[in-house]
Amino acid sequence: MRFSGQDLRSRYRESFLGPAWALVVPLCQLAVFSFVFTSILHSRWSGGEAGSFLFPLNLFCGISVYSVFSEIVTRSTTILSENSSYIKRVVFPLEVMPISIVLTALIGFLISLSILLVGYCIIRESLPPVQALSLPLILVPFFVLLAGLAWLLAGISVYLPDFRHAIFPIVSLLMFLSPVLFPLSSVPEPYRFAIAWNPVTVPIEQLRNALLLGTWPDPLLLAGYAAVAWAVAWLGYATFAVLRRGFADVV
Protein backbone atom coordinates (compact mmCIF):
# COMPACT_ATOMS: atom_id res chain seq x y z
CA MET A 1 0.00 0.00 0.00
CA ARG A 2 2.84 2.41 0.80
CA PHE A 3 4.47 1.90 -2.61
CA SER A 4 1.08 2.29 -4.29
CA GLY A 5 0.52 5.56 -2.44
CA GLN A 6 3.88 6.85 -3.63
CA ASP A 7 2.98 5.85 -7.18
CA LEU A 8 -0.34 7.69 -6.95
CA ARG A 9 1.23 10.84 -5.51
CA SER A 10 4.04 10.90 -8.08
CA ARG A 11 1.53 10.73 -10.92
CA TYR A 12 -0.12 14.01 -9.90
CA ARG A 13 2.84 15.67 -8.18
CA GLU A 14 3.16 18.62 -10.58
CA SER A 15 -0.54 18.83 -11.42
CA PHE A 16 -2.68 21.76 -10.29
CA LEU A 17 -5.75 19.61 -9.62
CA GLY A 18 -3.72 16.75 -8.20
CA PRO A 19 -5.66 13.54 -7.43
CA ALA A 20 -8.86 15.35 -8.44
CA TRP A 21 -7.98 14.39 -12.02
CA ALA A 22 -9.08 10.86 -11.13
CA LEU A 23 -12.58 12.30 -10.71
CA VAL A 24 -12.52 14.92 -13.49
CA VAL A 25 -11.48 12.56 -16.30
CA PRO A 26 -14.30 9.99 -15.94
CA LEU A 27 -16.84 12.77 -15.41
CA CYS A 28 -15.74 14.40 -18.68
CA GLN A 29 -15.84 11.02 -20.41
CA LEU A 30 -19.40 10.35 -19.28
CA ALA A 31 -20.51 13.85 -20.34
CA VAL A 32 -18.90 13.57 -23.79
CA PHE A 33 -20.26 10.07 -24.40
CA SER A 34 -23.75 11.16 -23.42
CA PHE A 35 -23.67 14.17 -25.77
CA VAL A 36 -22.03 12.54 -28.79
CA PHE A 37 -23.93 9.27 -28.85
CA THR A 38 -27.37 10.58 -27.88
CA SER A 39 -27.48 14.06 -29.39
CA ILE A 40 -25.23 13.80 -32.47
CA LEU A 41 -25.08 10.16 -33.58
CA HIS A 42 -28.48 9.18 -32.17
CA SER A 43 -26.98 5.79 -31.44
CA ARG A 44 -28.81 3.03 -29.64
CA TRP A 45 -27.65 0.02 -27.70
CA SER A 46 -29.04 -3.39 -28.50
CA GLY A 47 -32.54 -3.42 -27.03
CA GLY A 48 -32.63 0.34 -26.48
CA GLU A 49 -34.11 3.24 -28.37
CA ALA A 50 -32.05 5.71 -30.38
CA GLY A 51 -31.00 8.69 -28.30
CA SER A 52 -31.56 6.94 -24.97
CA PHE A 53 -28.96 7.13 -22.22
CA LEU A 54 -28.60 3.35 -22.32
CA PHE A 55 -25.80 3.74 -24.85
CA PRO A 56 -23.47 6.03 -22.84
CA LEU A 57 -24.02 4.02 -19.66
CA ASN A 58 -23.15 0.75 -21.42
CA LEU A 59 -20.22 2.42 -23.13
CA PHE A 60 -18.94 3.87 -19.87
CA CYS A 61 -19.11 0.42 -18.25
CA GLY A 62 -16.96 -1.04 -21.01
CA ILE A 63 -14.44 1.77 -21.13
CA SER A 64 -14.05 1.86 -17.33
CA VAL A 65 -13.18 -1.84 -17.22
CA TYR A 66 -10.96 -1.72 -20.28
CA SER A 67 -9.10 1.38 -19.04
CA VAL A 68 -8.06 -0.55 -15.92
CA PHE A 69 -6.86 -3.47 -18.03
CA SER A 70 -4.97 -1.17 -20.40
CA GLU A 71 -3.32 0.82 -17.60
CA ILE A 72 -2.10 -2.24 -15.71
CA VAL A 73 -0.85 -4.11 -18.77
CA THR A 74 1.05 -1.16 -20.22
CA ARG A 75 2.51 0.15 -16.97
CA SER A 76 3.62 -3.27 -15.78
CA THR A 77 6.10 -3.44 -18.67
CA THR A 78 8.00 -0.40 -17.37
CA ILE A 79 7.52 -0.48 -13.59
CA LEU A 80 10.79 -2.30 -12.87
CA SER A 81 12.92 -0.23 -15.24
CA GLU A 82 11.47 2.97 -13.75
CA ASN A 83 12.46 1.79 -10.27
CA SER A 84 15.71 0.02 -11.10
CA SER A 85 17.38 1.31 -7.93
CA TYR A 86 15.14 -0.98 -5.86
CA ILE A 87 16.35 -4.04 -7.75
CA LYS A 88 19.82 -3.67 -6.26
CA ARG A 89 18.32 -3.83 -2.78
CA VAL A 90 18.27 -7.50 -1.85
CA VAL A 91 15.77 -7.01 0.98
CA PHE A 92 13.21 -5.11 -1.07
CA PRO A 93 10.18 -7.24 -2.10
CA LEU A 94 10.10 -6.55 -5.83
CA GLU A 95 6.78 -8.36 -6.23
CA VAL A 96 4.98 -5.39 -4.63
CA MET A 97 5.83 -3.14 -7.60
CA PRO A 98 3.42 -4.77 -10.07
CA ILE A 99 0.81 -5.00 -7.31
CA SER A 100 1.15 -1.27 -6.67
CA ILE A 101 0.00 -0.67 -10.25
CA VAL A 102 -3.05 -2.86 -9.66
CA LEU A 103 -3.94 -1.01 -6.45
CA THR A 104 -3.51 2.39 -8.09
CA ALA A 105 -5.72 1.34 -11.01
CA LEU A 106 -8.27 -0.07 -8.56
CA ILE A 107 -8.61 3.32 -6.89
CA GLY A 108 -9.29 4.98 -10.24
CA PHE A 109 -11.77 2.27 -11.17
CA LEU A 110 -13.70 2.66 -7.91
CA ILE A 111 -14.03 6.36 -8.65
CA SER A 112 -15.33 5.61 -12.15
CA LEU A 113 -17.73 3.02 -10.73
CA SER A 114 -19.03 5.56 -8.22
CA ILE A 115 -19.67 8.02 -11.03
CA LEU A 116 -21.44 5.30 -12.99
CA LEU A 117 -23.70 4.50 -10.05
CA VAL A 118 -24.52 8.17 -9.49
CA GLY A 119 -25.16 8.62 -13.22
CA TYR A 120 -27.48 5.62 -13.17
CA CYS A 121 -29.46 7.05 -10.26
CA ILE A 122 -29.80 10.43 -11.96
CA ILE A 123 -30.72 9.10 -15.40
CA ARG A 124 -33.02 6.31 -14.25
CA GLU A 125 -34.32 8.33 -11.27
CA SER A 126 -34.03 5.24 -9.10
CA LEU A 127 -31.50 3.30 -7.10
CA PRO A 128 -29.42 0.62 -8.82
CA PRO A 129 -31.01 -2.84 -8.86
CA VAL A 130 -30.31 -5.26 -6.04
CA GLN A 131 -28.19 -7.27 -8.48
CA ALA A 132 -25.55 -4.55 -8.13
CA LEU A 133 -24.59 -6.24 -4.86
CA SER A 134 -22.97 -8.95 -6.97
CA LEU A 135 -20.33 -6.54 -8.32
CA PRO A 136 -17.60 -7.80 -5.92
CA LEU A 137 -18.14 -11.34 -7.25
CA ILE A 138 -17.52 -9.98 -10.75
CA LEU A 139 -14.62 -7.65 -10.03
CA VAL A 140 -12.50 -9.62 -7.54
CA PRO A 141 -11.57 -12.36 -10.05
CA PHE A 142 -10.88 -9.67 -12.64
CA PHE A 143 -8.33 -7.91 -10.44
CA VAL A 144 -6.81 -11.25 -9.41
CA LEU A 145 -6.24 -11.96 -13.10
CA LEU A 146 -4.77 -8.48 -13.59
CA ALA A 147 -2.34 -9.06 -10.72
CA GLY A 148 -1.12 -12.22 -12.43
CA LEU A 149 -0.69 -10.41 -15.74
CA ALA A 150 1.18 -7.59 -13.99
CA TRP A 151 3.68 -10.02 -12.43
CA LEU A 152 4.10 -11.93 -15.69
CA LEU A 153 4.58 -8.90 -17.95
CA ALA A 154 6.82 -7.06 -15.48
CA GLY A 155 9.19 -10.02 -15.27
CA ILE A 156 9.30 -10.68 -19.02
CA SER A 157 9.85 -7.02 -19.90
CA VAL A 158 13.13 -6.91 -17.96
CA TYR A 159 14.63 -9.47 -20.34
CA LEU A 160 12.77 -8.32 -23.47
CA PRO A 161 12.83 -4.48 -23.54
CA ASP A 162 11.23 -4.40 -27.01
CA PHE A 163 8.16 -5.96 -25.47
CA ARG A 164 7.42 -2.62 -23.82
CA HIS A 165 7.03 -0.97 -27.23
CA ALA A 166 5.01 -3.82 -28.73
CA ILE A 167 2.44 -3.90 -25.95
CA PHE A 168 1.00 -0.43 -26.68
CA PRO A 169 -0.34 -1.14 -30.19
CA ILE A 170 -1.47 -4.59 -29.07
CA VAL A 171 -3.54 -3.14 -26.24
CA SER A 172 -4.98 -0.45 -28.53
CA LEU A 173 -6.07 -3.01 -31.12
CA LEU A 174 -7.42 -5.35 -28.47
CA MET A 175 -10.01 -2.74 -27.52
CA PHE A 176 -11.78 -3.31 -30.83
CA LEU A 177 -11.84 -7.04 -30.13
CA SER A 178 -13.51 -6.45 -26.77
CA PRO A 179 -17.21 -5.75 -26.07
CA VAL A 180 -16.46 -2.15 -25.16
CA LEU A 181 -18.21 -0.32 -28.00
CA PHE A 182 -20.75 -3.08 -28.63
CA PRO A 183 -22.50 -5.92 -26.76
CA LEU A 184 -21.24 -9.44 -27.20
CA SER A 185 -24.65 -10.44 -28.56
CA SER A 186 -24.11 -8.22 -31.62
CA VAL A 187 -21.00 -10.14 -32.70
CA PRO A 188 -21.69 -12.69 -35.52
CA GLU A 189 -21.81 -16.22 -34.18
CA PRO A 190 -18.66 -17.48 -36.00
CA TYR A 191 -16.54 -14.78 -34.29
CA ARG A 192 -18.28 -14.62 -30.92
CA PHE A 193 -16.18 -17.43 -29.45
CA ALA A 194 -12.96 -15.48 -30.04
CA ILE A 195 -14.36 -12.33 -28.41
CA ALA A 196 -15.66 -14.35 -25.47
CA TRP A 197 -12.10 -15.46 -24.62
CA ASN A 198 -10.93 -11.86 -24.26
CA PRO A 199 -9.93 -11.35 -20.59
CA VAL A 200 -12.17 -8.28 -20.22
CA THR A 201 -15.28 -9.76 -21.86
CA VAL A 202 -16.71 -11.51 -18.80
CA PRO A 203 -16.33 -8.58 -16.37
CA ILE A 204 -17.69 -6.07 -18.89
CA GLU A 205 -20.71 -8.16 -19.85
CA GLN A 206 -21.51 -9.26 -16.30
CA LEU A 207 -21.12 -5.71 -14.97
CA ARG A 208 -23.57 -4.43 -17.56
CA ASN A 209 -26.02 -7.23 -16.86
CA ALA A 210 -25.98 -6.74 -13.11
CA LEU A 211 -26.05 -2.95 -13.02
CA LEU A 212 -27.95 -1.92 -16.14
CA LEU A 213 -30.15 -4.92 -16.92
CA GLY A 214 -30.76 -6.08 -13.36
CA THR A 215 -29.84 -9.72 -13.94
CA TRP A 216 -27.73 -11.89 -11.64
CA PRO A 217 -24.32 -13.03 -12.94
CA ASP A 218 -23.99 -16.50 -14.40
CA PRO A 219 -22.52 -18.54 -11.48
CA LEU A 220 -20.91 -21.16 -13.72
CA LEU A 221 -19.37 -18.50 -15.95
CA LEU A 222 -18.00 -16.59 -12.96
CA ALA A 223 -16.67 -19.79 -11.37
CA GLY A 224 -14.82 -20.68 -14.56
CA TYR A 225 -13.47 -17.14 -14.89
CA ALA A 226 -12.34 -17.14 -11.26
CA ALA A 227 -10.53 -20.44 -11.76
CA VAL A 228 -8.70 -19.06 -14.78
CA ALA A 229 -7.91 -15.83 -12.89
CA TRP A 230 -6.31 -17.68 -9.97
CA ALA A 231 -4.37 -19.89 -12.38
CA VAL A 232 -3.03 -16.81 -14.19
CA ALA A 233 -2.16 -15.18 -10.85
CA TRP A 234 -0.24 -18.28 -9.72
CA LEU A 235 1.54 -18.56 -13.08
CA GLY A 236 2.42 -14.86 -13.08
CA TYR A 237 3.78 -14.91 -9.53
CA ALA A 238 5.74 -18.12 -10.09
CA THR A 239 7.26 -16.77 -13.30
CA PHE A 240 8.16 -13.49 -11.61
CA ALA A 241 9.79 -15.34 -8.71
CA VAL A 242 11.98 -17.32 -11.11
CA LEU A 243 12.90 -14.39 -13.36
CA ARG A 244 13.71 -11.98 -10.52
CA ARG A 245 16.89 -13.92 -9.72
CA GLY A 246 18.55 -12.36 -12.74
CA PHE A 247 17.05 -8.87 -12.60
CA ALA A 248 20.16 -7.31 -11.04
CA ASP A 249 22.34 -8.67 -13.84
CA VAL A 250 20.08 -7.28 -16.60
CA VAL A 251 18.92 -3.88 -15.33
Percent of the chain with pLDDT over 70: 81
Longest dimension (CA), the chain: 60
pTM of the complete model:
0.85
Of the pLDDT bands very low, low, confident and very high (cuts 50, 70, 90), residue 232 is: very high
Classify the C-alpha dihedral 74-175-110-139 as positive or negative: negative
Rounded mean pLDDT of the chain? 82
Asked whether residue 52 is domain-assigned, the answer is yes
Report if residue 29 sits inside a domain: yes
Residues 215, 51: Cα–Cα separation, whole Å: 23
- Is-contact 154 76, C-beta < 8 A? yes
Greater model confidence, 191 or 27: 191
- Residues 6 or more apart whose CB falls under 8 angstroms from that of 212 comprise 54, 57, 58, 61, 120
Does 50 score more than 50 pLDDT?
no
Smallest CA-to-CA distance from 63 within 34, 43, 38 is with: 34
Domain total in the chain: 1
Whole-number pLDDT of residue 184: 86
Q: Is the pLDDT of residue 126 over 90?
A: no
Cα 13 versus chain centre, distance:
23
Share of the chain above pLDDT 90, in %: 28
User: Do 56 and 38 contact (CB within 8 A), yes or no?
Assistant: yes
In a domain, 16, yes or no: yes
Q: What's the domain range around 44?
A: 2-246
Does 12 fall in a domain? Answer: yes
Distance (Å) of CA 184 to CA 59, 66, 85, 195, 209: 13, 15, 44, 8, 12
Residue 7's contacts (CB-CB under 8 Å, 6 or more residues apart) are 100, 101, 104
Region 22-45: mean pLDDT is 69
pLDDT-derived band at 43, boundaries 50, 70, 90 = low
Instruction: Specify if 251 maps to a domain.
Output: no
Domain assignment present for residue 99? The answer is yes
Note the pLDDT of residue 150. Answer: 95
Q: What is the DSSP string of 153-218?
A: HHHHHHH-THHHHHHHHHHHHHGGGTTTSS-GGGS-HHHHHHHHTSTTHHHHHHHHIIIII-----
Would you say residue 45 lies in a domain? yes
